Structure 1
Amino acid sequence: MRHDDVVAPLRECLAPEDDVVLAYVFGSVARGRAGPLSDLDVAVLLADDADIGRRHLELIAALTSSIKSSEVDVVILNDAPVALAYRVLRDGRPIVNRNERVRVGHWVATVDRYLDMEPMRRTLAAGLQHRLEEGRLVDPDAVRRRLREIDRRVARLGRIQATGRGAFVADPGLQTQAERHLQLAIQSAIDIALHIVAEDSAATPEDYGSSFSALAGLDVIGRPLAQRLRVAVGLRNVLVHAYLDVDPERIWDQLSGLTDLEEFS
């Protein structure tokens, strides 16, 4: 599967899809290294009012039919993890651009978020790699899956945050979505911390919040971040056990601190 062979049918397929603002081919096809078994990776940025879940399935079906292959993966950039979105922009080839201003705005926002988190990402990756080399992670894939889950949830929370405080406080539906995404992102961070410290009996935490202090004690994260994540655990406990008493303003304030979860992931 060659890049030049798929661009024309992809563009023809996406031409009537008015809510597809941007589209890229990325992965092995874009790099010119595709083999007979390679998937075709396509990333799209949808209009703000698009139904992302429904459109994701529709686009997979349409693109699969267009290139007559079942090996098509579609990434929706609106809620993609920032590391994946950055990789698409860095390595992908644009095939649709309906609005240059939107393209530039999305590029700037994605690159800015990625570079802002890169120093912490490298520190965490180095800590995980060190423990991998020492054979001290029982299931590294479990950690990686939860890191990706945090990225996905934070991306969706960022979209909710973009609606503004007033719209958020007035919309119970948005509040419910935010509560769920926050709960799962924080729980994923807790699971990662517990997994990493599981092999060190001296670091066994007394509670969820202590798991981040234990992680800091193992030099995987810094102590300031560990303390902020302890506070996030308190919110998680409220969401799980005292959900009738959740204050929308407190949830909004937590959305303003999403960088803590981004740093961790």
Structure 2
Amino acid sequence: MADTEAELTRRLESVPEILFALLFGSRAAGTPRADSDWDVAVFLSPALSAAERFRLRARLSGELGDLGQVDVVVLNDAPPLLAHRALQGRLLTVADRTAYVRFFVATVSASEDERYFREIHDRARRERLEEGRFGRS
């Protein structure tokens, strides 16, 4: 597994559009099963358009496929909770430390905001259930 991770890192470092990349999921946590994929999150240059990011993600998935099942997530386009989950993994490469720190701070803030509002919503739903008002105005 260490050899595959090193090769994955080497290949990601060779892509100039990648500002940083993380390994997350079961492989990063050290709990993979035999059929576990490689969950890789990349943050790409903001100069790339959405279409260019899509094409680069597809290219990376194809080029990394010989290493096993690799699932590539583009952090620029990821929802806050997925981005936060990826940040709980470990860095594979950082070409732009400032971009990483900015993304980290923005993502943690956004996911905390989302969690706060989800808790308010869940609390209101529980209250409606307890009062027998769920599904009614």
Query: TM-score w.r.t. structure 1 length?
Result: 0.45
Aligned to 1:62: 63
Determine the structure 1 residue equivalent to 2:89: 92
Cα distance in 1 between the residues matched to 2:14 and 2:109: 31
CA distance in 2, matches of 1:38, 1:125: 32
1:29 aligned to which of 20, 27, 30: 27
Question: C-alpha separation between the residues in 2 aligned to 1:126 and 1:41?
Answer: 33
Summarize the alignment of residues 4-19 of structure 1 with structure 2, pairs less than 5 Å apart.
4-19=2-17
The structure whose residues are more often helix, as a share, is: 1
Partner of 1:261: none
**1:253 aligns to what?**
none
In structure 2, runs of 5+ residues without a counterpart are none
Alignment of 1:115-154 (within 5 A): 115-125=112-122
User: Aligned to 2:117, what secondary structure does the other structure show?
Assistant: helix
Separation in 1 of the partners of 2:34 and 2:45? 33
Name the CA distance, whole Å, in 2 between partners of 1:126 and 1:8: 45
**Bigger relative contact order (CA 8 A; separation at least 6):** 2
Q: How many angstroms does 1:120 deviate by?
A: 1.1
Identify if the C-alpha distance between structure 1 residues 127 and 29 changes in structure 2 by more than 3 Å, giving closer, same or farther. Answer: farther
Q: In the alignment, which residue of structure 2 is the partner of 1:114? A: 111
What are the superposed Cα offsets for residues 179-212 of structure 1, whole Å, 9 maximum, x if unpaired?
xxxxxxxxxxxxxxxxxx7xx4xx3xxxxxxxxx
Partner in structure 2 of residue 77 of structure 1: 75
Classify the secondary structure of the residue corresponding to 1:56: helix
Percent identity of the aligned residues?
Answer: 33
How far residue 57 of structure 1 moved from its aligned partner, in angstroms, is 0.4
More strand by share: 2
- Equivalent position SS for 1:5: helix
How many Å separate the matches in 1 of 2:36 and 2:122?
27
1:46 to 44, 47, 52: 44
RMSD: 2.2
Letter in 2 for 1:80: A
* Number of residue-to-residue matches in the alignment: 130
Cα deviation 1:159-196 (Å, max 9, x = unaligned): xxxxxxxxxxxxxxxxxxxxxxxxxxxxxxxxxxxxxx
The alignment's TM-score, normalised by the length of structure 2, stands at 0.84
C-alpha change, 1:53 and 1:36, in structure 2 (3 Å) is same
